[in-house]
Structure 1
Amino acid sequence: MTVKVNITSLGCAKNRVDTEVMLGLLRDAGYEITHREEDAHVLIVNTCGFILPAKEESINTILELVRFKETGKCQALLVAGCLSQGYSDDLAKELPEVDGFLGPGEVPKVASIVANVLQGKKTIQVGQPDFLYDHTMPRVLSTPFHYAYVKVADGCDNRCGFCMIPNLRGPFRSREEDSVFQEVQSLTERGIQEILLIAQDTTRYGLDRYGEFRLPQLIRRLAPVDGLKWLRLMYCYPAHFTPELIEAMAAEPKVCRYVDLPLQHADDELLRSMNRRSSVAEIRQLVKDLRANLPGMAIRSSFIVGLPGETEEKFQRLLDFLEEMRFDRVGVFTYSREEDTPAGRLRDQVPDEVKEERFHRAMALQQAISRSIQQEWVGRTIPVLVEEEVSPGLYRGRSEREAPEVDGFIELKGKDLMSGQWAKVKITAADDYDLMGEEINEPG
């Protein structure tokens, strides 16, 4: 009998790449991949352990899948990823239904671990989180066929005061440039048109391996690859965003006029307490330089409200900064107190009800800013990558200003369009986060 395996991937795109590698390794070991949980003999959850809501989602997903051991074909349930790395011993005690745990460093062993648990051998394999995939490893893509994530590095050395990632993913380690190039080349040969470069700290790429920030050189090498239409940068730590990187982005038309730039706050004292390495003045100058050199670019950022020591005055500085900067896309998160982090040990924690109130105030402000920016696009004509048909003659797609999965979309009327096809679209309307338009067939 062929053993069928299903993997549920939670959390960020970096975790998704690990999931795709595990799927590739299992496929090559003779297992059949199924998208139907009820048909799987082996269920794997690749978990996220970044903040409390992510941990809760991971636990709830595990509990939901346990039922397939009673009502489905499931013979083994495994928990992988960051939650296993940080809490496997506790989880093994609390969740006896789980047959095995493996950390991010054990990804290459997934096939043998599955074989062991199918033989009734419960296992916990959580070593050093030092795995780094390369272009020679198999991947089963879980994204639509026209885009893919490429992880250029793993781990993190920044040690932000609120963050457990260095404990869960290990120190920062870059892939070889040749390996990234060969993977991108292979993906485009398979029809991938958009590559999203990702890491815990994408702008740090190369420093550990080559002694210098090498993302500009990598961009220049990847941009000419045949078949590549868009190259998108995600998870860019602001302190490592060099003038050379801005220059490389501006020089390469295939680089999306888009950047994901997590800034976290806009109060210098809080930034220092978080061990962030940029001041508000430096961040303001970086945004100014990006917009001057890449006109029309979309900037996505994320901010944390309710950090220890965040007074009403400091929170107001964040609101003023948002109003001043007018970022195209913003994610706001309430601070999650994590054990084994400097911020978690601080005494001046903000009450949960205050965090929640500040979250809603920040989101309401950004919603109004986003609505205003969106309206500015009405009447313009832009190229759109079609993603899916939602009903006859009605499609969803993205321009270079929208990253998949995290941003809004463009809803367009058209005819006989296919997923992965490009359309010329005139924007006719806008709401807070999405645009609406119509396909036009005019020349030019």
Structure 2
Amino acid sequence: MPYRIAFVSLGCAKNLVNTEQMMALCRQAGHTITGEPEGADVAVLNTCGFIESAKSEAIDNILQLGRLKEEGKLKKLLVAGCLTQRYPDDIRKELPEVDGMLGTGSYTDVVAAVEELMAGEKAEHFAGIHTTYEDGERIVTTPPYTAYLKIAEGCSNGCAFCIIPKLRGRYRSRSMDALLTEARGLAQAGVKELIVIAQDITRYGMDRKDGSSLAGLLRELCELDFHWVRLHYLYPEVITDELIQTMAQNPKIVHYLDIPIQHCNDGILKAMRRHTTKADIQALFAKLRNAMPDVVLRTSLICGLPGEGEAEFEELCQFLREEKLQRAGVFQFSPEEGTLAAAMDDQVDPDVAQRRVELVVDLQSRVMDEYNEQRLGTVMEVLCEGFDSQAGCYVGRTYADSVEIDGHVYFTAAGLVPAGSFVNVRITGTMDGDLTGEIDE
């Protein structure tokens, strides 16, 4: 019997790809797919459980969907993803709203779980997290011109602050053939911006021992009909000269590199179990800027890791003033149970850590403002994302702005500019971290 199944996806883009795979499996089984839980037979909530804020968001969504069940507007709730993988016992005890669970190794069991729930049976699937099936059809939910290509699952880096290896398993690369088949399908469907993602894309192929590499994969992807190929995330210690040359020489690869460094102080980096030093990072950034003078660097930073005193924090701030990284995500250390960092001595007071986050955000906003000021009067290629009725003009992104995490360009045009088209925009102003301009005819 066909059911109406609603999907809600939380967390990162990698999680979204898993949601899209589950949607395709349910559609293949004859069920109707919707994004509206109200009126559905089953809602599938794919959760993140990485840090405290993500856990809170997942629980809030569970409670909201539970209220729909109480009101008779939803029959069953199936929760999947990192939260269930991490806290199955807590969910059983504390969240009676949840009717069934899928661990991160069991996305492909979604159809069986839905049918079990609707038959009044228990549905809990927790397969191994090291051998998941990552290929197969997806229902792409991003705008038709942008799509993600997930090239690997899991992580083997073992950073002291991170729980992901315990939730997602060891690093495993998908085959080049499977990736290129999927990419060809996306290109044929009209995707113009391909965003290559994994927890660490730089280690792509190293586990396969068949000659696969990120540089090789990128060269193949650039042969397909994409306009932009964007990269998330590159770990600094394995960015090779071959990879830099590949990124510099292929015009389709946008010169926007998301390289999570987390900190710059050597003692903190060692405590984090990172595999670089401050000198390594500085040398890498210099090499990248030499190869790609227009490169925009994005990073992730953690403030308040145990052992971070005023001297270590000031070193980070000075590093950021000197390096002028145009984009940064700044996070307060979250002592996640099961991680090495949670058990370390010299824990930093959360209020102190929060204040440090605010100081770095303020510092980085000045760096971003300086970058935006330097854009004034230049002409930049913009991917139009549609007409913003509230702003009364078109909105889009440059190569320097990734989906949902960076800024936008608001621009005027005399004629129609379809979403998904690329246009040249003359930058004429700045606005709260965004750029403004007009089409350059």
1:60-209 correspondence runs (5 A): 60-135=60-135, 137-209=136-208
- CA distance in 1 between partners of 2:9 and 2:17 (Å): 9
Paired position in structure 2 for 1:408:
407
How much has 1:212 moved relative to structure 2?
6.0
- What's the CA shift for 1:430? 1.4
Which residue is 2:251 aligned to?
Answer: 253
Aligned-partner SS, 2:87: helix
Q: Quote the residue 1:239 is aligned against.
A: 237
CA distance in structure 2 between the partners assigned to 1:68 and 1:5 by the alignment: 14
Q: Deviations over 1:116-169 (max 9, x none)?
A: 01111122212321354455x121111000010011000000000000000000
Which residue number in structure 2 is paired with residue 48 of structure 1? 48
Determine the structure 2 residue equivalent to 1:371: 369
In 2, distance between residues paired with 1:131 and 1:56? 29
Is residue 393–residue 416 contact of structure 1 (8 Å, CA) maintained in 2? no
| CA drift at 1:292 | 0.7
CA gap 1:235/1:416 in 2 versus in 1, 3 angstroms:
same
Secondary structure of the structure 2 residue equivalent to 1:239: helix
Mapping of residues 310-349 of structure 1, within 5 Å: 310-349=308-347
Query: One-letter code of the match for 1:66?
Result: G
Structure 1 residue 31: deviation in Å? 1.1
Give 3-state SS (helix, strand or coil) of 1:395's partner: strand
Of 63-72 and 258-267, the range deviating more from structure 2? 63-72
Distance 1:194 1:234 in 2: 13
Q: Is the 8 A contact 2:62 2:97 kept in 1?
A: no
2:5 is the alignment partner of 1:22: no
Measure, in 2, the Cα distance between the counterparts of 1:171 and 1:212: 19
Report the Cα distance in structure 2 between the residues aligned to 1:133 and 1:258, rounded to whole angstroms.
Answer: 30
Tell whether the 8 Å contact from 2:222 to 2:253 is kept in structure 1 after alignment: yes
Question: Aligned equivalents of 2:435 and 2:112: distance in 1?
Answer: 47
> How big is the alpha-carbon RMSD for the aligned residues of Structure 1 and Structure 2?
1.3
**How far apart, CA to CA, are the structure 2 residues paired with 1:112 and 1:294?**
49
1:251-330 pair list within 5 angstroms = 251-330=249-328
- Residues 106 and 132, structure 2, Cα contact 8 Å, conserved in 1: no
CA distance in 1, matches of 2:398, 2:260: 21
Write the distance in 2 (CA, Å) between the matches of 1:319 and 1:213. Answer: 38
**1:99 maps to amino acid:** D
Q: Is the 8 A contact 2:162 2:336 kept in 1?
A: yes
Give CA-to-partner distance per residue, 1:190-232, whole Å, 9 cap, x none.
Answer: 001111111111100000002667000111111011x211111
Secondary structure (helix, strand or coil) at the match of 2:74 reads coil
- Give the aligned partner of residue 381 of structure 2: 383
Tell whether the 8 Å contact from 1:204 to 1:213 is kept in structure 2 after alignment: no
The alpha carbon displacement at 1:335 in A equals 0.2
| Kept after mapping to 1: 8 A contact 2:7/2:36 | no
Residues 371 and 431 of structure 1 are in contact (CA less than 8 Å); yes or no, is this contact kept in structure 2? no
1:215 is the counterpart of 2:214: yes
Q: Return the alpha-carbon distance in structure 2 between the equivalents of residues 47 and 277 of structure 1.
A: 29
Taking a change above 3 Å as real, the CA distance of residues 279 and 331 of structure 1, as seen in their structure-2 partners, is same
Between 119-128 and 284-293, report the one with greater CA deviation: 119-128
- Alpha-carbon offset, residue 172 of structure 1: 0.2
- CA distance in 2 between counterparts of 1:406 and 1:28 reads 33
Query: For residues 50 and 293 of structure 1, do their structure 2 counterparts lie closer, same or farther at Cα, with a shift above 3 Å needed?
Result: same
Q: What secondary structure sits across from 1:296 in the alignment?
A: coil
Please list the CA deviations of residues 250-290 of structure 1 after superposition, one character each: whole Å capped at 9, or x if unmatched.
Answer: 11110011111111001000000110001010001111111
CA distance in 2, matches of 1:2, 1:440: 52
Distance 1:244 1:132 in 2: 30
The answer to whether the Cα contact below 8 Å between 1:231 and 1:256 also exists between their aligned partners in 2 is yes
Q: 1:131 to 1:428 in 2, by over 3 A?
A: farther
What amino acid does structure 2 have at the position aligned with 1:344?
A
C-alpha spacing 1:132/1:293, structure 2 compared with 1 (3 Å): farther
Q: Which deviates more from structure 2 when the two are superposed, residues 415-424 or residues 194-203?
A: 415-424
SS at match of 2:130: coil
Q: TM-score, normalised by structure 1?
A: 0.96
CA distance in 2, matches of 1:10, 1:88: 18
Distance of 2:439 and 2:6 partners within structure 1: 38
- Can you list the C-alpha shifts for 1:354-391, whole angstroms capped at 9, x where unaligned? 01111111111111111111110011111111012112
- 1:88, 1:124 within 8 Å by CA — same for their partners in 2? no
Q: Tell me by how many angstroms 1:4 deviates.
A: 1.1
Q: Which amino acid aligns with 2:28?
A: D
How many residues are paired up? Answer: 439
Residues 307-329 of structure 1: CA distance to partner in whole angstroms, max 9, x if unpaired?
00000110001101111110111
Any unmatched runs of 5+ in structure 1?
A: none
| Equivalent of residue 357 in structure 1, options 340, 343, 355 | 355
Q: Give the TM-score, by structure 2 length.
A: 0.97
Q: Aligned equivalents of 1:293 and 1:183: distance in 2?
A: 30
CA contact (8 A) 1:134 1:179 kept: no
Note the C-alpha offset of 1:432: 4.6
For residue 8 of structure 1, give the secondary structure of its aligned residue in structure 2.
strand
| 1:49 aligned partner, one-letter code | G
Does structure 2 retain, via aligned residues, the 8 Å contact 1:160–1:274?
Answer: yes
